[in-house]
Structure formats: structure tokens, C-alpha cells
Amino acid sequence: MSDAAQPTAAEVRAAADAVKTALDRHLEAVERRTGDDDPAVFDAFNALAAAAEVYDELLYDRYDEVTPFEIPGAEDSLPPYEGPEEPHALSVLIRRDYAVAQPARLLAQAQRLADLDPEGHEGDGAPVVAGGVHAALGVLFGEYEADEIASRHTEFGLEEGDSTLWVTAVEELAEPGEWLGAPFEDADPALVVCRFDASSVFDDDEPDVEPGGVVRERA
């Protein structure tokens, strides 16, 4: 950044003062909270996060220095719950990401499955490996449940990425086939009863959860 574009020392100082003000307001909101989902606390948290981010950016631009703390953004927290008080049904939304870390291992496992059950993996007679990773993934996920793949991913040449599981409350079950075309289109964080996230960014947090896991749960 050029000197002309750098923030002034006064701007950095003003941003630091804004963090102090936001911190005081957050504490006041917490002290006066009316429940676990008090919107005043939620708003004060977001304001503090925004002020801290501005200060951090200006501090770096002006002095090439960073803060020793990190406040998660609003997208990392649950909004106030707006679902039914007594849910009569629930939806479980799951996403797991994998990298194909060892394609040769994946292809070998898929070929083994195809050889054990040739009729269950009918094709033009060509080996699975000829179809590449695309065909191998079809064989693998056609044979095993998603939970089993999650527990044995290394065996299949896969490397875990981020994953999340949302338990959401609904008034009643959807009609059969109603959401199959777009299963995650209506995912609403305000209906989340509890949420379980796993990511390498959480490796130093939440020691009571399995490695890499963070639980966000409503009381």
C-alpha cells in the first residue's frame, strides 16, 4: 500500500476507541441478557466483531502489525432461534468435504468392490479404473453409507475437509419427494436446534469435542 493510501494514526486510534466502546456495550448486553437467545447480545457481538475487524485492518495497513486475538464473524454464530417451541419433526442437514488425496488407492478400492460383485456394477466390461475417479466414486458411494465412508475415508484414499451437521426443527414433515430436487434450499439458521462443525481451523479449540470439532448448541 502506498503512503498516500495508508490510514492516519488518528484513524487507527479512532478504530481502537470504537473497539473499546463496542466491548463495553457487549459486556453490558451480556450482563442484562434476558435469555440464551437475547437479540441484544447477538447484535452487540456482531458490532464488536465488526469494530475489531476494522481496527485490525487499519493497524496492519498503518503499522504492519496485527492483534493477538480473533473474533469470529457473524456467520460463525447462530442467530436467535425462531422455530417452533415444541418441534413435531426435524430435518438433519449434513455436508462433508473430501479431497481425493490418493487416486490410485481410490481406484483400487473401487475395482475390488466391482470384482467382488460384478453383477452389481454392470458396465461395458471395462475395469472400473478405466472410468477414472468419477466412476470409482460412483462405485464407492453406491456400496457404502456416508457415515461408513466418513469413518474409513483414509482407507479409500480420501482426505477430510470441513464438515457440518445441522439439526433443524420443523412443524411437520415435508410431503414425500417435496424437497428432493433442492434438499438444502430452505436451510434456515434460525431454525437450528443444534449444530456440529468440524474444521482444521478449530484444532486448538473445544478440547471436550472430538479433534477438529466444534459444537454450537442452543440450551
- pLDDT band (50, 70, 90) for residue 121: low
User: What residues contact residue 189 under an 8 Å CB cut-off, 6+ apart?
Assistant: 78, 79, 166
pLDDT of residue 2: 45
* C-alpha closest to that of 71 among 51, 85, 43: 51
pLDDT of residue 98: 95
Rg, Å, the chain Cα set: 24
What is the average pLDDT value for the chain, to the nearest integer?
81
pLDDT of residue 9: 92
166 φ/ψ angles, rounded to the nearest 5 degrees: -110, 130
- Please determine, for residue 6, whether its predicted confidence score (pLDDT) is greater than 80: yes
- Please determine, for residue 103, whether its predicted confidence score (pLDDT) is greater than 90: yes
Between 75 and 167, the higher pLDDT residue: 167
DSSP 186-210: T--GGGEEEEEEE-GGGTTS-TTSS
- Please determine, for residue 218, whether its predicted confidence score (pLDDT) is greater than 90: no
- Please determine, for residue 39, whether its predicted confidence score (pLDDT) is greater than 50: yes
- Cell numbers 481425493 correspond to what residue? 100
- Cell numbers 442484562 correspond to what residue? 32
Sheet holding 89-100, edge to edge: 89-100, 158-170, 192-198, 213-217
Burial 116-138 (b: 16+ CB within 10 A, else e): eeeeebeeeeeebbebeeebbbe
Residues 48-69 have a mean pLDDT of 87
pLDDT of residue 154: 94
Quote the cell numbers at residue 115. 470384482
- pLDDT band (50, 70, 90) for residue 126: low
Tens of pLDDT along 73-88? 444 566 778 888 888 8
Helices (H), the chain: 9-31, 39-63, 103-116, 132-143, 146-151
Quote the cell numbers at residue 20. 473499546
- Please determine, for residue 118, whether its predicted confidence score (pLDDT) is greater than 70: no
Highest-scoring range by mean pLDDT, 53-67, 72-86, 189-203: 53-67
pLDDT of residue 38: 81
- Please determine, for residue 214, whether its predicted confidence score (pLDDT) is greater than 50: no
